[in-house]
Amino acid sequence: MASKAAQKRLSKEYVAMQKEPPPFVWAAPDEKNILTWNYLIRGPPDSPFAGGEYHGVLLFPSEYPFKPPGIKMLTPSGRFQPDRKICFSMSDFHPGSWNPAWSVATILTGLLSFMLSEEMTTGSVTSSDSHKRAFAARSHSWNITQQRFKDAFPEYCTPALRDLPNMGEKERGKPDNPPIVNFVNPPPVSVSSSSSSFASVASSHTEAETRPSTQPQPNSVAKPNDPNRAAAAPAPGWMAAWRHFIYEKWRLCAFIALAVMLSRFTTRT
Protein backbone atom coordinates (compact mmCIF):
# COMPACT_ATOMS: atom_id res chain seq x y z
CA MET A 1 0.00 0.00 0.00
CA ALA A 2 1.34 3.40 -0.93
CA SER A 3 2.23 5.88 1.78
CA LYS A 4 0.68 9.33 1.67
CA ALA A 5 3.97 10.75 0.44
CA ALA A 6 4.20 8.18 -2.36
CA GLN A 7 0.55 8.68 -3.30
CA LYS A 8 0.93 12.43 -3.50
CA ARG A 9 4.22 12.32 -5.35
CA LEU A 10 3.15 9.74 -7.96
CA SER A 11 -0.15 11.54 -8.59
CA LYS A 12 1.79 14.74 -9.22
CA GLU A 13 4.19 12.95 -11.55
CA TYR A 14 1.34 11.49 -13.59
CA VAL A 15 0.00 15.00 -14.16
CA ALA A 16 3.48 16.12 -15.20
CA MET A 17 3.83 13.14 -17.55
CA GLN A 18 0.58 14.03 -19.30
CA LYS A 19 1.52 17.69 -19.54
CA GLU A 20 5.11 17.26 -20.78
CA PRO A 21 6.16 13.67 -21.57
CA PRO A 22 9.84 13.02 -22.29
CA PRO A 23 10.94 12.18 -25.84
CA PHE A 24 10.11 8.60 -26.94
CA VAL A 25 8.58 7.77 -23.53
CA TRP A 26 5.09 7.40 -22.09
CA ALA A 27 3.90 5.95 -18.76
CA ALA A 28 0.79 5.66 -16.60
CA PRO A 29 -0.02 4.09 -13.21
CA ASP A 30 -2.12 0.99 -12.85
CA GLU A 31 -5.75 1.86 -12.09
CA LYS A 32 -5.79 -0.42 -9.05
CA ASN A 33 -2.31 0.23 -7.68
CA ILE A 34 -0.53 3.55 -8.10
CA LEU A 35 2.78 1.90 -7.09
CA THR A 36 2.81 -0.07 -10.36
CA TRP A 37 3.36 1.92 -13.54
CA ASN A 38 3.33 0.63 -17.12
CA TYR A 39 5.60 2.40 -19.55
CA LEU A 40 6.23 2.47 -23.29
CA ILE A 41 9.53 3.32 -24.94
CA ARG A 42 9.82 3.94 -28.67
CA GLY A 43 13.14 3.26 -30.36
CA PRO A 44 14.72 6.56 -31.49
CA PRO A 45 15.66 7.05 -35.15
CA ASP A 46 19.22 6.20 -36.15
CA SER A 47 19.41 3.48 -33.50
CA PRO A 48 19.08 -0.32 -33.77
CA PHE A 49 15.76 0.04 -31.92
CA ALA A 50 14.20 2.42 -34.48
CA GLY A 51 10.53 1.62 -35.01
CA GLY A 52 10.41 -0.58 -31.92
CA GLU A 53 7.78 -0.40 -29.18
CA TYR A 54 8.90 -1.62 -25.75
CA HIS A 55 6.51 -2.23 -22.87
CA GLY A 56 7.70 -2.52 -19.29
CA VAL A 57 6.81 -1.84 -15.67
CA LEU A 58 8.10 0.33 -12.83
CA LEU A 59 7.56 -1.21 -9.38
CA PHE A 60 7.65 1.55 -6.77
CA PRO A 61 8.15 0.83 -3.06
CA SER A 62 5.72 2.33 -0.56
CA GLU A 63 8.62 4.51 0.67
CA TYR A 64 8.95 6.26 -2.71
CA PRO A 65 10.37 8.85 -3.39
CA PHE A 66 12.93 7.97 -0.72
CA LYS A 67 13.64 4.54 -2.24
CA PRO A 68 14.08 3.63 -5.94
CA PRO A 69 11.77 1.42 -8.00
CA GLY A 70 12.34 -1.96 -9.57
CA ILE A 71 12.39 -1.84 -13.36
CA LYS A 72 11.47 -4.52 -15.91
CA MET A 73 11.09 -4.58 -19.69
CA LEU A 74 8.53 -7.11 -20.90
CA THR A 75 8.86 -6.79 -24.68
CA PRO A 76 11.76 -8.79 -26.19
CA SER A 77 14.31 -6.21 -27.32
CA GLY A 78 17.68 -7.90 -27.76
CA ARG A 79 18.99 -5.60 -25.01
CA PHE A 80 17.26 -6.77 -21.80
CA GLN A 81 15.93 -10.10 -20.62
CA PRO A 82 12.11 -9.98 -20.76
CA ASP A 83 10.30 -9.74 -17.41
CA ARG A 84 13.50 -9.58 -15.37
CA LYS A 85 14.64 -6.69 -13.18
CA ILE A 86 17.24 -4.44 -14.76
CA CYS A 87 20.23 -3.22 -12.79
CA PHE A 88 21.24 0.37 -13.41
CA SER A 89 21.90 3.44 -11.29
CA MET A 90 18.24 4.49 -10.91
CA SER A 91 16.86 1.07 -10.00
CA ASP A 92 16.45 -0.73 -6.68
CA PHE A 93 19.79 -2.48 -7.30
CA HIS A 94 21.49 0.78 -6.24
CA PRO A 95 19.58 2.36 -3.34
CA GLY A 96 22.73 4.17 -2.24
CA SER A 97 22.91 6.20 -5.46
CA TRP A 98 19.21 7.03 -5.55
CA ASN A 99 18.20 10.70 -5.55
CA PRO A 100 14.67 11.48 -4.23
CA ALA A 101 14.51 14.40 -6.68
CA TRP A 102 14.40 11.96 -9.59
CA SER A 103 10.99 11.35 -11.12
CA VAL A 104 9.26 8.86 -13.40
CA ALA A 105 10.31 10.98 -16.38
CA THR A 106 13.92 11.02 -15.14
CA ILE A 107 13.96 7.26 -14.59
CA LEU A 108 12.58 6.41 -18.02
CA THR A 109 14.84 8.88 -19.78
CA GLY A 110 17.78 7.25 -17.98
CA LEU A 111 16.52 3.79 -18.92
CA LEU A 112 16.32 4.78 -22.59
CA SER A 113 19.85 6.17 -22.45
CA PHE A 114 21.08 2.97 -20.78
CA MET A 115 19.25 0.91 -23.41
CA LEU A 116 21.13 2.71 -26.20
CA SER A 117 24.50 2.05 -24.55
CA GLU A 118 26.58 -1.10 -24.72
CA GLU A 119 27.02 -1.49 -20.94
CA MET A 120 26.28 -4.97 -19.62
CA THR A 121 24.69 -5.57 -16.25
CA THR A 122 22.14 -7.77 -14.50
CA GLY A 123 19.16 -8.18 -16.79
CA SER A 124 21.10 -7.31 -19.95
CA VAL A 125 21.66 -9.58 -22.95
CA THR A 126 24.13 -9.43 -25.82
CA SER A 127 22.90 -9.33 -29.40
CA SER A 128 23.92 -7.84 -32.73
CA ASP A 129 22.36 -4.73 -34.22
CA SER A 130 20.63 -6.87 -36.84
CA HIS A 131 18.97 -8.91 -34.07
CA LYS A 132 17.87 -5.72 -32.31
CA ARG A 133 16.33 -4.45 -35.55
CA ALA A 134 14.53 -7.76 -36.01
CA PHE A 135 13.11 -7.53 -32.48
CA ALA A 136 12.08 -3.92 -33.14
CA ALA A 137 10.26 -4.88 -36.35
CA ARG A 138 8.05 -7.43 -34.59
CA SER A 139 7.74 -5.70 -31.19
CA HIS A 140 4.33 -4.14 -31.79
CA SER A 141 2.78 -7.32 -33.18
CA TRP A 142 4.12 -9.12 -30.10
CA ASN A 143 2.78 -6.49 -27.69
CA ILE A 144 -0.80 -6.55 -28.96
CA THR A 145 -1.00 -10.28 -28.24
CA GLN A 146 -0.13 -9.75 -24.55
CA GLN A 147 -2.95 -9.28 -22.06
CA ARG A 148 -0.86 -7.01 -19.81
CA PHE A 149 -0.27 -4.69 -22.75
CA LYS A 150 -3.95 -4.73 -23.69
CA ASP A 151 -4.97 -3.84 -20.14
CA ALA A 152 -2.37 -1.12 -19.73
CA PHE A 153 -2.56 0.55 -23.15
CA PRO A 154 -5.83 -0.26 -24.93
CA GLU A 155 -5.47 2.91 -27.03
CA TYR A 156 -2.24 1.50 -28.51
CA CYS A 157 -3.72 -1.91 -29.38
CA THR A 158 -4.15 -0.98 -33.03
CA PRO A 159 -2.95 -2.85 -36.12
CA ALA A 160 -0.68 0.04 -37.04
CA LEU A 161 1.93 1.39 -34.65
CA ARG A 162 0.85 4.68 -33.06
CA ASP A 163 3.19 7.51 -32.14
CA LEU A 164 3.65 8.45 -28.51
CA PRO A 165 2.69 11.99 -27.43
CA ASN A 166 6.32 13.11 -27.77
CA MET A 167 8.30 11.58 -30.62
CA GLY A 168 11.28 13.86 -30.08
CA GLU A 169 10.67 16.19 -33.03
CA LYS A 170 11.21 19.35 -31.02
CA GLU A 171 14.40 17.95 -29.50
CA ARG A 172 15.70 17.21 -32.99
CA GLY A 173 15.09 20.79 -34.01
CA LYS A 174 12.04 20.20 -36.16
CA PRO A 175 9.58 23.08 -35.68
CA ASP A 176 5.87 22.39 -35.45
CA ASN A 177 5.11 24.93 -38.21
CA PRO A 178 8.18 25.63 -40.34
CA PRO A 179 8.38 29.28 -41.42
CA ILE A 180 7.73 29.96 -45.09
CA VAL A 181 10.31 32.23 -46.67
CA ASN A 182 9.29 33.98 -49.87
CA PHE A 183 12.44 34.78 -51.82
CA VAL A 184 10.52 36.08 -54.82
CA ASN A 185 8.68 38.82 -52.96
CA PRO A 186 10.41 39.30 -49.59
CA PRO A 187 8.22 40.98 -46.96
CA PRO A 188 8.90 44.65 -46.25
CA VAL A 189 11.14 45.27 -43.27
CA SER A 190 11.51 48.60 -41.55
CA VAL A 191 15.22 49.18 -41.14
CA SER A 192 15.15 52.90 -40.39
CA SER A 193 13.01 55.98 -40.54
CA SER A 194 13.73 56.15 -44.28
CA SER A 195 12.02 52.78 -44.97
CA SER A 196 9.53 54.41 -47.33
CA SER A 197 12.31 55.77 -49.53
CA PHE A 198 13.97 52.34 -49.41
CA ALA A 199 10.78 50.70 -50.73
CA SER A 200 10.34 53.30 -53.47
CA VAL A 201 13.92 52.87 -54.66
CA ALA A 202 13.53 49.06 -54.67
CA SER A 203 10.28 49.38 -56.62
CA SER A 204 11.79 51.67 -59.22
CA HIS A 205 14.75 49.34 -59.52
CA THR A 206 12.42 46.38 -60.21
CA GLU A 207 10.49 48.33 -62.83
CA ALA A 208 13.71 49.40 -64.53
CA GLU A 209 14.74 45.75 -64.86
CA THR A 210 11.42 44.71 -66.47
CA ARG A 211 11.34 47.33 -69.26
CA PRO A 212 13.94 48.51 -71.83
CA SER A 213 15.95 51.46 -70.71
CA THR A 214 15.36 54.66 -72.72
CA GLN A 215 17.86 56.71 -70.75
CA PRO A 216 21.50 57.04 -71.79
CA GLN A 217 24.15 55.39 -69.64
CA PRO A 218 25.87 57.62 -67.05
CA ASN A 219 29.19 57.60 -68.87
CA SER A 220 27.82 58.00 -72.39
CA VAL A 221 28.93 60.99 -74.45
CA ALA A 222 26.37 62.87 -76.56
CA LYS A 223 27.24 63.48 -80.20
CA PRO A 224 27.46 67.11 -81.37
CA ASN A 225 24.31 66.81 -83.54
CA ASP A 226 22.45 64.44 -81.20
CA PRO A 227 18.90 65.77 -80.65
CA ASN A 228 18.88 64.05 -77.26
CA ARG A 229 21.96 65.93 -76.12
CA ALA A 230 20.02 67.99 -73.63
CA ALA A 231 18.55 64.83 -72.11
CA ALA A 232 22.03 63.30 -71.81
CA ALA A 233 23.33 66.17 -69.75
CA PRO A 234 23.26 65.36 -66.04
CA ALA A 235 20.73 67.26 -64.03
CA PRO A 236 21.83 69.08 -60.88
CA GLY A 237 22.24 66.56 -58.02
CA TRP A 238 22.11 63.58 -60.38
CA MET A 239 25.36 62.07 -59.10
CA ALA A 240 24.18 62.25 -55.47
CA ALA A 241 20.89 60.60 -56.42
CA TRP A 242 22.76 57.82 -58.26
CA ARG A 243 25.03 57.17 -55.27
CA HIS A 244 21.93 56.98 -53.07
CA PHE A 245 20.37 54.50 -55.50
CA ILE A 246 23.48 52.29 -55.47
CA TYR A 247 23.59 52.41 -51.65
CA GLU A 248 19.93 51.41 -51.32
CA LYS A 249 20.42 48.65 -53.87
CA TRP A 250 23.32 47.31 -51.80
CA ARG A 251 21.15 47.33 -48.68
CA LEU A 252 18.41 45.40 -50.47
CA CYS A 253 20.87 42.74 -51.66
CA ALA A 254 22.37 42.48 -48.17
CA PHE A 255 18.92 41.98 -46.65
CA ILE A 256 18.03 39.21 -49.11
CA ALA A 257 21.40 37.48 -48.53
CA LEU A 258 20.87 37.65 -44.75
CA ALA A 259 17.38 36.13 -45.12
CA VAL A 260 18.80 33.24 -47.18
CA MET A 261 21.58 32.58 -44.62
CA LEU A 262 19.14 32.59 -41.71
CA SER A 263 16.78 30.23 -43.55
CA ARG A 264 19.56 27.76 -44.28
CA PHE A 265 20.87 27.93 -40.73
CA THR A 266 17.37 27.26 -39.32
CA THR A 267 16.86 24.33 -41.69
CA ARG A 268 20.17 22.68 -40.77
CA THR A 269 19.61 22.99 -37.02
Do the beta carbons of residue 10 and residue 34 sit within 8 Å?
A: yes
Residue of 87, 125, 199, 232 marked catalytic? 87
Amino acid sitting at position 259: A
Q: d(Cα 167, Cα 184) in Å, to the nearest integer?
A: 35
Specify whether the CB–CB gap between 7 and 60 falls below 8 A: no
Q: In the chain, which ranges are E strands?
A: 25-29, 36-42, 53-59, 70-73
Helices and strands, number each (H, E), in the chain: 7, 4
181 phi/psi in degrees, rounded to 5: -105, 120
Annotation marks residue 87 as catalytic: yes
Active site residues: 87
